[in-house]
Structure 1
Amino acid sequence: MTDAAFAAPDAAFADRVRTSFAKQGLMAHLGVELIEVTPGRCLLRLPFRTEVSQQHGFFHGGAIATLADNSGGYAGQSLLAAGMEILTVEFKVNIIAPGRGEALFAEGHVVKNGRSLIIARCDIWAERSGVRTLCAIGQQTLMPLDGARVN
């Protein structure tokens, strides 16, 4: 759930987010899917496979943290004008339950859309037999940059 309503910077914001997401080798390697992006919000899904599990058969904490970083990051990216990029400055994840299920979902949403820093939060839940269980929460600080400085 978002705390504030944000306006899209222009009609092409979602296409820019999807294009950027498609360039992420790690997301492709892990099998992460971008389900939905709206202004200030991004929903990702990671299907379970042994390659993203830990020794007890749960989703690995690294996979959970990766989803938190990317869902919050793309929630922030969705608010930037064409030619702007975003980088994570810091993020924190609290794992509050085992990530056990057929898929992991991460919903990042912007809390504060500042000029120099953007703050995002993320809820990560596992879905098992149609039941969703919140397994982690995250918060991150993002920095918008001119794309020419990043590329």
Structure 2
Amino acid sequence: MSGTMDLEPARKVLAEQPFSRLLGARVTAFGGGEATLELDIREELLQQYGFVHGGVLSYAADNTLTLAAGTVAGPGLITSGFTIDYLRPATGTVLRAHGRVVRAGRTRVVSRCEVATIDADGARTLCAVAQGDIAVIEPVGERR
């Protein structure tokens, strides 16, 4: 990741999201067109086969796509749409989503994200990939 990393703006955004607080999500990297979000895998996040629920993977991808966009476009953003492909069941101790900006325009930012699990031994398993279109809803010149 290039540039300096100030996690506080991203941590503030998550703290303002009740759902992120419920999941226990945390930002571990934020800057230079990239962002990483993590959450601990616990029983409440699993589906009936013992895998992390796809909705949790989608949440992680959605927020990480927008967080990455926020590193280049500021805080006035909202996800316009995204696609996700589930590659394998998610099991482990930590869910980690890493996003990076592909292209930043004046009104739209396109980001890509990999969602992986980390097991107790630190091994990473790629579980899903996503790409999103992030809308700039508060242009830089018009921010309060």
Same topology, TM > 0.5: yes
Partner of 2:137: 145
- Is 2:90 the partner of 1:99? yes
Partner of 1:127: 118
TM-score scaled by length of structure 2: 0.88
Which secondary structure state, in structure 1, belongs to the residue aligned with residue 135 of structure 2? strand
Partner of 1:110: 101
| Residue ranges of structure 1 left out of the alignment (5+ in a row) | none
- Is 2:38 the partner of 1:45? yes
CA contact (8 A) 2:39 2:95 kept: yes
TM-score scaled by length of structure 1: 0.84
User: How many Å apart are 1:14 and its aligned residue?
Assistant: 4.3
User: How many residue pairs align between the two structures?
Assistant: 141
d(CA) in 2 for partners of 1:40 and 1:21? 18
CA contact (8 A) 2:7 2:27 kept: no
d(CA) in 2 for partners of 1:29 and 1:23? 11
Residues 14-53 of structure 1: pairs in structure 2 closer than 5 A: 14-53=7-46
Which secondary structure state, in structure 2, belongs to the residue aligned with residue 130 of structure 1? coil
AA aligned opposite 2:55: G
- Is 2:56 the partner of 1:63? yes
CA contact (8 A) 2:73 2:104 kept: no
CA contact (8 A) 1:76 1:109 kept: yes
Tell me how large the CA RMSD over aligned residues is.
2.3
Instruction: Give % identity.
Output: 29
Which secondary structure state, in structure 2, belongs to the residue aligned with residue 78 of structure 1? helix
